[in-house]
Structure 1
C-alpha cells in the first residue's frame, strides 16, 4: 500500500512538471556518445535509463556493453522489420528523482519505441508511472523487486524476483550453517529481499542469531559487524550490492578476524577487485554462468562478448543483452512501434532465453514477469565467479 501511494505521488509530481527542474547530469541524454541512436526515419530507438556516472557507474558500464553488443547482433541479422535499431542513452545515476525527471523526455521522443532500465528498482519505479500513462513499455530488465510491475500493464521485467533469489540463497545457506548472522542494505530493495530470505530461513530451521541493516553509503561497518561476529555464527550473510558486500567481508576478515563462510557480494569485477583475496569462497545467487552454460546461443553470446571486450560476460551483461534481444524479437513478431512492443510482450511465447538453463521463456500476463527463469548459484574461486552446484 505504501509503495502504491508513493508511486501515485510521483506520477502526480511528474504530470505537474515540478520535478523537471531537478539537476541531472544525463537529462539531455548522451545518445550522440553511444553511436547508435538516431532520429532518421529508417531507425527506431530503445531508450536507456542507466547509471553512466555516480555510485552505480560500474553497473552502467556492464549494461552498456550488453546493450551495444545486442544492437550489433540485431542489425547484423536484419534489424526490426527492415528498420535499424538504435539506442538513446540517458544517465540518471540510478537516482529516483533523476529517473522521474527524465521520463517525460523519453516519452516525447517518438523515435523511442520502448525503454529499458534502470539499475535499482526504486529508481526505475519512479519513472514507471510516466511511461505507463504514455503507453510506452518500461522494460525493467534488472528490477528484481516483486512489486516492480504493479504500476500498470506497460511495465514488464524478465528479471528473477527476489522471492526466488532469496529462496535459493536461504536454501544453500541452510546446507552450510545452522545459525547465522545477517546484515542487509537499508533501502526498499534490501528490506524486501531480507524479508524473503528470513521467511525461507525460518522454514529451513536456520537460526538467525543476529541481524542488522546498514546505510547504502556506509564506510565503516565495524559497529554492526562486531556483534555479528560475537554471536558466533556458522556463517555470515550479506544482502546488498557489490561494493558494500566487499566492505562487509573485508571488515570481517581483515579487522575482526572472522574466518567462517560468507554469502554475499555480486558478480562484478568491482566486487572481486575490492574484496581481493577475501572474496575467495563467497557464494551468491545469480542467473548466468559464462563457463557453465550449456545453451548453444548463450555460448555464442559468450564468444561474441569475448571477441568484442576481451573477457567473459557476467549476470549484468547478459541481462542487458537479453533485454534488447527480447524487445527486438517482440518488434519483429509484430511491428517496431510502441503498440507493437506491447502486443509482442503480451502474445509471444518463445522469447530466446540466455539466462539460467537457456531455452525459451514467456511472460505471465498477470504480473508481467518471466514465467520460467530460475536462479543459479555462483562461487568466487581463483579471482572469478563460476557456477556452483552446492
Structure 2
C-alpha cells in the first residue's frame, strides 16, 4: 500500500512511546496471568492480547473458547517439550494504544515464548515493533491486513490476506448478479472507516472492475455509527443489483437491518460475519447473506477437523465457528512447532521457519507451511458461507 511506510513509522513511534506508560498498564485493565497460567520453572507461556471487554468483546469471547480448548488438549498430550503450556491473557479491547502500552511488559517476561492476537490488524500492528525488537514471535492469527507482517522477521500470520478474501468476494458477487466483462452490473459498496476497511475496499474494487462490477455508489462509515440511513439511501437509490458491506458483525447487521426494515430494499446482500451477535442482531434479515470465511463446522472433511468439532461441542455445547477455529489453531500451531524444535522464543521462530506440516483445521483441512519471505501461510484457502435457516453453513456454488 502507498501509505504503508507512513503507517509503519507511526506504529514504531507508538510502540516506543509505550515504554513510558507500561508501569501503569494494569490501571487500563490490561490484565495479566491467571492463577492457572502463572509462570514457573516447569511452565512456558503464550501471551494472548485480545478484546475481553469493549466494542469487540464478542470476538474476545469466541477467541478464548478456542484458546482454552487448545490449551487443555496440548497439556493433556504432555505439553511442550515436557513442560506445561500456559496462556497469559491481556485485555486490550483491541485498541492500538492499549496494545502498544502492554507490549513492553509482555516482551520483558522471560516466561513468554510467543504472543497471539489481537483481533484488529491495526491494534496488533501497534504492538508488533516491540515484540519484533525483543525477538519474540508475534503470531497475528486473525490479522488479514496485507502489510501486517512487514514490521519484521518475528511477525507472522496464518490468516488469509484481504487481497485473497476480497478477490473471492468480488467474484462471488459478480457470479450472483450475472456480471462479466461483457455484461457490467451495478452494485453499491459501503465499508468501515479504518485501515483494514480501506484496504479491503481497495482490494475488492480492483477485482470488481476486472469481473464486470460497476460500483455505482461507495461510502465509508465510522465503526461506532448508529444511523447509516443517509449513506444507505444513496446506496439504494443507485439502483444496484446487490449491496456489499465490508466491515464487522455489528455494523453488518446495522447496514442490513437499515436496508431491509427502513429502506425496503430486498436485493442480494453480501456482508456481516459468522458470529451469534450478527445473526441475533440481523434476525430474519440475515437469511441468504453470503460471506467469505475459512471454516464451516457443517463442511468439515478430515478426521482431525471432525475431532476438533466434536471436542468443541462437548466442551461448549455448540459448534465452533471461524473465530473459534483460528484461535484454537493458533495455540495448536505454536505447540506443534515447539515440540518439533524447543520450547523457547528461538524455538518458536525456528519452527515457523522450518516446519512444513502444521495440521490445518480450516478450509478443507490437511497441512500447511509458511512462506518465510512473507511470513504468511502458503496454502490456506478461503471458503464461502451462507445463512440458511438462521445459521451459517458452507456454500458450494
TM-score by length of 2: 0.95
SS in structure 1 of the partner of residue 217 of structure 2: strand
Deviation per CA, 1:142-200, whole angstroms, max 9, x where unpaired?
A: 00001000000000000011101001100110011222110000100000000110011
Cα distance change of structure 1 residues 56 and 13 upon mapping to structure 2, 3 Å threshold: closer
1:208 CA drift (Å): 1.0
Is 1:201 aligned to residue 208 of structure 2? yes
Q: Is the 8 A contact 1:13 1:19 kept in 2?
A: no
Q: How many residues align?
A: 388
Counterpart position of 2:33:
31
User: Which of 361, 375, 391 is the aligned partner of 1:368?
Assistant: 375
Q: For residue 94 of structure 1, what is the aligned residue in structure 2?
A: 94
Q: Which residue number in structure 2 is paired with residue 18 of structure 1?
A: 20
User: Paired residue for 1:353?
Assistant: 360
Question: How big is the shift at 1:352?
Answer: 0.4
Task: State the partner residue of 2:42.
Answer: 42
Question: Secondary structure of 1:345's match?
Answer: helix
Verify the 8 A CA contact 1:63 1:320 in the aligned structure 2. Answer: yes
Contact kept in structure 2, 1:67 and 1:321, CA below 8 Å: yes
Q: 1:316 Cα shift?
A: 0.3
CA deviations over 1:53-75 (Å, ceiling 9, x no partner): 00000000000000000011111
Report the secondary structure of 1:44's partner residue: strand
Q: How far does residue 10 in structure 1 lie from its aligned partner after superposition? A: 3.4
- Indicate whether 1:243 and 2:250 are aligned: yes
State the Cα deviation string for residues 79-121 of structure 1 (Å, max 9, x = none): 1010011100000000000000000010111111000000000
Residue range with higher mean Cα deviation, 14-23 or 135-144? 14-23
Partner of 1:259: 266
CA distance in 1, matches of 2:26, 2:271: 31
Instruction: Work out which of the residue numbers 291, 307, 317 in structure 2 matches 1:300.
Output: 307
- In structure 2, runs of 5+ residues without a counterpart are 178-184
SS of residue paired to 2:46: strand
SS in 2 for 1:238: strand
Query: Which residue in the other structure is 2:147 paired with?
Result: 147
- Give the 3-state SS of the residue equivalent to 1:232 in structure 2: coil
Q: Under a length normalisation based on structure 1, what TM-score does the superposition of the two structures give?
A: 0.97
Matched, 1:81 2:77: no
Correspondence for 2:346:
339
> What SS does the aligned partner of 1:36 have?
helix
The alignment yields a C-alpha RMSD, in angstroms, of 1.4
Runs of 4+ in 1 over 3 A off after TM superposition: 12-16, 18-28
Distance 1:28 1:378 in 2: 34
Q: Which residue number corresponds to residue 125 of structure 1?
A: 125
Contact 2:51–2:57 under 8 Å retained in 1 = yes
State the SS of the aligned residue for 2:37: coil
Q: Report the CA distance between 1:260 and its aligned residue.
A: 0.7
SS of structure 1 residue aligned to 2:20: coil
- Provide the C-alpha distance between the structure 1 equivalents of 2:234 and 2:291, rounded to a whole number of angstroms: 23
Q: Find the counterpart in structure 2 of residue 221 from structure 1.
A: 228
Deviation at 1:11, TM superposition (A): 2.6
- Please, which of 210, 229, 238 is the counterpart of residue 231 of structure 1? 238
**Which residue is equivalent to 1:323?**
330
Q: Counterpart of 1:90 in 2: which secondary structure?
A: strand
CA 1:155–1:40: 2 relative to 1, 3 Å: same
Contact 2:11-2:125 at 8 Å conserved across structures: no
Which stretches in structure 1 are left out of the alignment for 5+ residues? none
Structure 1 pair 257–13 and aligned structure 2 pair: CA distance change class (3 A): closer
- The answer to whether the Cα contact below 8 Å between 1:30 and 1:88 also exists between their aligned partners in 2 is yes
Q: Which residue of 2 aligns with 1:181?
A: 188
Give distance in 2, aligned partners of 1:39 and 1:312. 32
Q: How has the CA–CA distance of structure 1 residues 306 and 227 changed in structure 2, closer, same or farther, with 3 Å as cutoff?
A: same
